[in-house]
Every structure is written in structure tokens, then in C-alpha cells.
Amino acid sequence: MFSISAFSRAVVWALLGTAVTTPVLAQDGITVSGEVRARYESLDGQFRAGRSGSDQALFLRTLVHGRYEADDFAFGIELQDSRAYFDDEGTPLSASYVNPLDILQLYVETPAPGLLGQDWSGHLRLGRQTVSIGSKRQIERVSYANVIKSYTGAHYTSRTDAGDEFHLLAIVPLSRQPGDRGLIGDNTLSGDDEQWNRQIWGVHYRDANAFLGLAEGIMAEAFVYGLNERDSADFATPNRHYTAPGFRLYRRPQTSQWDVDIEGVWRFGSRRATSADSDTDDLDVSATMLFAAAGYTFNAPWKPRLALEYYWASGDDDPNDESFDQYERLFGSRRTDLNNTSLHGPLTPANLSAPGVRLELDPGPRWSARIHYSHASLASETDSWVIAKLRDPSGQSGDVIGQTIDSRVVYDLVPDTLELELGTSVFLPGEFADNAPASPAPDETLFGYAQVAWQF
């Protein structure tokens, strides 16, 4: 556990005060960088079970990352302070929104041999750290969320000049504190703990050369990730023991060119239905996820890119059999592919079938914009709409979650320093969202946010 004493907190706040008045500090191998961000969100038409009406909150996040490099050795520490204001008792806050002053990263880095040949160079990072690999659908350092996930362990990375990558990962996640809703609402300070009873491992390889000669620029990835859990005195788990092999083929967007992104995962193993001590029955797990997108960037003003997309994540067809077939989003992203999240975010890659269309615009070096539409259904009508925590085991409520429209515009007020972001979302409920037991059944859900971020 990394706890912060009163004296340490005073030192940290002094560092924060210095950093936010000094855009960049770089001297004798020491660099300090970071971000100060404020985002106001408003949601009208709550869709989650047991809630109704509207929600709003002001989210503040401050990051300060100090790094010291000497010869082949590097030491880094990053602080995170995430808070919420102007919310009310009905706002669905959790430790994903609020995590007052704590250590996000505390690591050492050292060179390591390239394991795949002379053209490969490697390095090893040990300690508390954030992790993003590949598409970030399997594991990512989130950017939009008010609280960034971090892990403790070892991450080995090896690369070539041609862009090939090889990753080895052995980490444990952190239990973000405080966990109590009342303490979260009060922005109470509490140090995060390593969950040593939950181990994550991964092997991830990327080939940056043309895949099988099919087309120039197509890259391939192959990976295997695993999760092993056991209960501890402080944290109960469903005792998940997962192995998840997968692949990805993609071609990055370029003007006057088709692009593609296909990623699939099969997850197998075992877990229990709940985290209760009395639940000792292991269920067989077989779950799948598939994302597919094909787009084209036009050689025209604003460089419009139009893409067709489809997201599939399996559901559990029978809640009473001896298997669990729902694909769970564990540590990967969802906003990039699906919807604006935080107080909104009705969709996640779990029990989901969502075809969609996306339009991205690039009006100039300081502007970017996108709008995305999805028609979302349950992959299994007897399984849960996970974010809303709604389920009809009989399947009689139908399977259509609804239609989502998400948009955002980003403008650099001061290039590379001060950024403004505005976003809106509309959720139009379908038959399942209207009819599921305990659903608040709003006529529609409207969401908007305004965000300003200063990077130094």
C-alpha cells in the first residue's frame, strides 16, 4: 500500500503549486509535466436502474508527472488528484470519478535485451504504472475518465525501428479508495491499495509490415491476456480465471485511402456467478468479442472520414446453466468505439450487438470533430444491460437497448497547451430500455459536457 502522510501531502501540494505555475521544468535530467482539467457534465433522463431525473457534476483532475533520467536509468512519479463537485445524492459517483490526491505512478525503468533479435531494443518498467497497448481495447490508460487506472508490477517492451512491438506484462490492479459513496461525495483522501489477489498477465505482438502481402500498410497483432483472482480479507472476487487469446488487423486512416480495423477475442476459463463467500460453484466461461470497422478518408476540405462499424460482445443466454458466456470489459477502453462515458455511457462491450456509422472531420491543425451513431441491442435478451443494471431473465422485454448519437468538438485555444472540448449525446430508448423490470424508462436521455484542459 502507498499511503500519504500529512507531511507528504504538504510536500505534494507544494509540488502541485510549483508545477502549475511553471509550464515545463527540465534541468539536470529532471522533467516535470502534467495537466489541469475541469469538466462540467449534465445529464437529463436517467436510464440506470433505481434512478430517475437528472444529474450534473463538475469534475476536476490534476496530474503531475516528475521524471529523472541518468544514463540508462529512469525514475518516475506521477500524482493524480480527481474530485467531483455540485453533484447530489442521486448522482452515480464511484471511485471511477473521485480519487483525491494519490500516487498514480511510481516506477523505475532500465534497458533490457531485445528478445526477438538484434534489431530489437527493449526496456523494463517496474513499480506502479499505467498501461496502454495496441488498440487499448484490452488494456489502456484512459484519457476521458476523471480517474485513471494504474497497476503495480512489471511491463517489458521491445521495439524495432520499423514499428514492430513486443510486450510482456505481469501486474496487479489497484483498489481505488475511498469505496464508500458518502466518502466519495465528500472527496475524502484515502490511499489506494494493490490488489495482490488479482493478477493480470499478457503477451502482445505487433507486426508493422504488410500482412501477407494483402495491402500496403496493413498491420497485424496477436495477443493473449489472462486474469487470475482469489478472495482476500479485504476484497471479494468472483474467482475469475481467464485466458483470452485474440488478434487485430488494421490499416490507419489516410487521405484518399480505405482503412480497416478488425479485432477479435475469445475468452475461456472459469468464474463464479457472484463474489459471495457462500458461492462456491465454478461456472465454465466461453465469451467472445469482435470489433470491425471500414472507413474512407476523402480528399476534400475538412478531410471527412466516413466509417461503418460493428461491435459484438457475447451475452449469457441461460442464467441457470453451468456456464457464464458474457464478455466482460475488464481493463480496456469503450469511449473511443462506443459513446461518451462518465455520467452517460449507456454502452459497454458486454452483452452487446451494435452496428454504427461514424463521421470524423479535421477542419485544420487546431480543430477536430466527430459524430457517431449506434443502434444497440442485447446480444442475449435474457442477459443484462450491464451499465443500466437491468435484466429480464425471461427475455420478454425484448432485446433493443436503443439508439445513441454521440458528438464532440476539440479546439486548441493555445496549441499544445490549452484545449477546449465540447460534447453532446442523445440516447433514444428501445423496447428493452422501456420494458425491463425496474427501468426508469425515460423518454430520452440528453447529455452534454464542456471541458478545458491545460497541459504543461
Report whether 237 contacts 229 (CB < 8 A): yes
**Cα–Cα distance measured from residue 456 to residue 438, given in angstroms and rounded to the nearest whole number:** 46
Report whether 315 contacts 351 (CB < 8 A): yes
Q: Where are the alpha helices (DSSP H) in 238-367?
A: none
Closest CA to 355 of 301, 293, 416, 277: 293
C-alpha cell at 12: 505534494
Contacting residues for 79 by C-beta, under 8 A, at least 6 apart? 12, 15, 16, 62, 63, 64, 65, 101, 102, 103, 104
Q: How far apart are the first and last CA of the chain?
A: 29
User: How confident is the model at residue 52, as a pLDDT?
Assistant: 83
In this prediction, residue 3 has a pLDDT band, given cuts at 50, 70 and 90, of very low
SS3 assignment for 104-171: EEEEEEEEECCCCCCCCEEEEEEEEECCCCCCCCCECCCCCCCCCCCEEEEEEEEECCCCCEEEEEEE
Q: How many helices (H) and strands (E) does the chain have?
A: 3, 21
User: How confident is the model at residue 441, as a pLDDT?
Assistant: 93
Residues present in the chain in total:
456
Report whether 44 contacts 54 (CB < 8 A): yes
User: How confident is the model at residue 24, as a pLDDT?
Assistant: 53
Q: Cell 540508462 belongs to which residue?
A: 72
- Phi-psi domain of 45 (left: phi exceeds 0; alpha: psi -120 through 50; beta: other): left
**Cα–Cα distance measured from residue 133 to residue 221, given in angstroms and rounded to the nearest whole number:** 11
User: How confident is the model at residue 4, as a pLDDT?
Assistant: 39
Question: Residue range 312-324: average pLDDT?
Answer: 92
Q: Is the N-terminal amide bond of 173 cis, ω within 30° of 0? A: no
φ/ψ (deg, to 5) at 213: 70, 15
Q: Per-residue pLDDT tens for 247-256?
A: 999 999 999 9
In this prediction, residue 13 has a pLDDT band, given cuts at 50, 70 and 90, of very low
User: How confident is the model at residue 170, as a pLDDT?
Assistant: 98
Report whether 101 contacts 63 (CB < 8 A): no
φ/ψ (deg, to 5) at 432: -70, -45
H-run or E-run covering 84: strand 73-85
H-run or E-run covering 244: strand 241-251
Residue 183, pLDDT > 90, answer no
DSSP code at position 281: P
Report whether 434 contacts 441 (CB < 8 A): yes
Which value, to the nearest 10 degrees, does the dihedral of the CA atoms of residues 72, 66, 200, 267 take? -100
User: How confident is the model at residue 213, as a pLDDT?
Assistant: 63
User: How confident is the model at residue 249, as a pLDDT?
Assistant: 96
Residue 228, pLDDT > 80, answer yes
User: How confident is the model at residue 19, as a pLDDT?
Assistant: 39
Q: What percent of the chain has pLDDT over 70?
A: 93
User: What proportions of the chain, in percent to the nearest 5, are helix, strand and coil?
Assistant: 5, 50, 45
Closest CA to 175 of 159, 152, 154: 152
**Cα–Cα distance measured from residue 295 to residue 303, given in angstroms and rounded to the nearest whole number:** 12
Q: Per-residue pLDDT tens for 238-297?
A: 999 999 999 999 999 999 999 999 999 999 999 998 999 888 899 999 999 999 999 999
How big is the CA angle at 374 (ends 369 and 380), to the nearest 5 degrees?
A: 150
Residue 15, pLDDT > 60, answer no
User: How confident is the model at residue 115, as a pLDDT?
Assistant: 84
φ/ψ (deg, to 5) at 57: -165, 150
Q: Per-residue pLDDT tens for 25-83?
A: 556 789 999 999 999 999 999 999 988 889 999 999 999 999 999 988 999 999 999 99
Least confident window among 163-167, 197-201, 230-234, 404-408? 230-234
Question: Residue range 316-334: average pLDDT?
Answer: 92
CA atoms within 13 A on the CB side of 455: 11
In this prediction, residue 172 has a pLDDT band, given cuts at 50, 70 and 90, of very high
As beta bridge partners, residue 426 has 405, 446
Q: Per-residue pLDDT tens for 348-378?
A: 999 999 999 999 999 999 999 999 999 999 9
- Mean pLDDT score across all residues of the chain: 91
How big is the CA angle at 393 (ends 392 and 395), to the nearest 5 degrees?
A: 70
User: How confident is the model at residue 22, as a pLDDT?
Assistant: 42
φ/ψ (deg, to 5) at 431: -65, -40
Question: Residue range 181-199: average pLDDT?
Answer: 87
CA atoms within 13 A on the CB side of 288: 9
Question: Residue range 415-431: average pLDDT?
Answer: 97
